Structure 1
């Protein structure tokens, strides 16, 4: 299966591990992600706050390229990219807005753009949970995980179309299919501070610290994310969050594709696990130990029956 793919800027830089694991997991599921040619930055977080039309033009150019390629569906891994692309397409339904954006692009854009969805939704809509479970080689059984979506993936609900905006559950379904125990995580859509990690470090540290603190209290083995900014704030900035919360966090924060890749038995180098600030080695050791114990129990049970 081939899908048009918009990787976004962070995929080639700060979230390279997300890109690596996304490509590896999709390949394992026989999903081929084909970059749209000559794509450009979507404007990320700051552009739309400066100029709505210029920001939309950045996104519309990408949507227009996908339309020219006759793409039926466009996938992107990043919630910020997803939000910007979807909002731009929605705003282009206004004739006056479309005219101004087309002027910025020096020509008319396509009348109709292909729908845009997240890689997570693209996988789930293409491959059911039983098929995901069938691909598992190293079950995540015994791990307690918290799914954290962040504030962009499901909002605004009428644009993002990602289930309940306060309680999305797709990540839980996918990781449960891989054998994990998913805890009920009340802060799954709370803001981590997003791009305020530079201008408002204290605020971001407090927001992220609150999320990490609850996850720690719930006794999870890792927090699982789907957003480069969320991953950066919860992983890279753990020392800052620890300082604000008066404690010391040491909690692995993995992308959902990295966790699925582990369950699929993929090479850890392919998944970019070495790029995590808080190492996932303890998580891997626990999984290996759980599998050894399970194998030993099975052997002992067989011996008892004989």
Structure 2
């Protein structure tokens, strides 16, 4: 499957009343196309931790970069239509693992809340006035807030000892702070906390929030390669064995494009959820390591982390 299925938002939306720990789940286009391993491992991690994911029926693309660079009303429409679906379902939070989607939801909600004229145009196009009751979380936020570090630590069966991990947040996790509400946009630590809970050693490095180039990988490839190469070189210089990220766009640039860079090394880049799957003892196949462009298996076998994989 190369693209998500074609859908239309439902005419009638049923409210849901989950009995346990549940949150709305917006996979977005990337997790249903180029980042299916992220979708699979995030779902598996949530299942292992007892967090139910409720996917809203009829969700559409968040708008991504093209919408907000061409038409603010269209950008607001894409974001708020999805948030409205979730609001009308009666859910108060949504997790958007793709940081591009996370940004668009955060930006759309903020702009509509602070621009009455834009809000009116978006509401007219949707046919519903969004009340702003849905909070958007990225994947790491959702795991920490709805599950917690203690529960993550308790689920670990195979501690990732002797593994030095650089957590790469990219620029969209925390910035701009007026959208994300990040307390420390230049030095976030949420992913490092999970890495430590898994038994690995978080690497302190200075490029954790630098931009990888994002969609410039398509329009300005040499620039994206230059930006991503600096990130990889800094991680390597700081002693990282591998890098973890929580963004499909970052994953493409810092991992998949390593073959296009003039580097004398290769460094594995995993989604944080792939690393969690390994620490939970669920095995190489469940982690979908076969979809990584830079093979992490030799390193992980050397450290004894793939022995007796399920």
Name the TM-score, length of structure 2 as normaliser: 0.89
CA distance in 2, matches of 1:112, 1:163: 22
1:153 paired with 2:173, answer yes
Pairing 1:262–2:274 present:
no
Partners of 2:234 and 2:96 in 1: CA distance: 29
**Structure-2 residue corresponding to 1:46:** 66
The answer on whether the counterparts of 2:165 and 2:242 sit within 8 Å (CA) in structure 1 is: yes
Partner of 2:235: 215
Map of 2:12 onto structure 1: none
CA distance in 1, matches of 2:229, 2:91: 41
8 Å CA contact retained: 2:51, 2:147: no
Shift of 1:108: 2.7
1:278 to 284, 294, 300: 294
User: What is residue 72 of structure 1 aligned with on the other side?
Assistant: 92
Counterpart-to-counterpart distance in 2, 1:290 and 1:284: 6
The question of 1:14 aligning with 2:34 is answered yes
Question: What is the aligned partner in structure 1 of residue 46 from structure 2?
Answer: 26
* Alpha-carbon distance, 1:54 to partner: 0.4
CA shift, 1:150, in A, is: 0.3
1:239 is matched with which residue? 259
| Aligned positions, number | 287
1:270-305 Cα distance to aligned partner (Å, 9 max, x none): 22211000011023212317999xxxxxxxxxxxxx
CA distance in 2, matches of 1:191, 1:61: 28
The match for 1:303 is none
Decide whether the 8 Å contact of 1:16 with 1:272 is kept in 2.
Answer: no
User: In the TM superposition, what is the alpha-carbon distance from 1:119 to its structure 2 partner?
Assistant: 1.9
Q: Which runs of 5+ in 2 are unaligned?
A: 1-20
| Equivalent position to 1:95, from 116, 133, 151 | 116
Q: Tell me, yes or no, if the aligned pair for 1:239 and 1:249 is still in contact at 8 Å.
A: no
Distance (whole Å) between structure 2 residues aligned to residue 59 and residue 71 of structure 1: 16
1:198 aligns to 2:214 (yes or no) = no
Which secondary structure does the structure 1 equivalent of 2:23 belong to? strand
Q: Which has the higher helix share?
A: 1
Structure 1: state its 5+ residue gaps: 293-306
Runs of 4+ in 1 over 4 A off after TM superposition: 289-292
Q: Distance between the aligned counterparts of 1:161 and 1:142, measured in 2?
A: 34
Offset from partner CA, 1:24-59 (integer Å, 9 cap, x none): 111110111110110000011222011111011011
Name 2:13's counterpart in structure 1: none
Q: How do residues 71-150 of structure 1 correspond to structure 2 at under 5 angstroms? A: 71-93=91-113, 94-105=115-126, 107-150=127-170
Q: Does 1:226 align with 2:226?
A: no
Contact 1:148 1:224 in 2 (8 A): yes
- Could you say what secondary structure the match of 2:278 adopts? helix
CA apart distance, 1:109? 2.5
- Is the 2:203–2:239 contact (alpha carbons within 8 Å) kept by the matching residues of 1? no
Q: Partner of 2:265 in structure 1?
A: 249
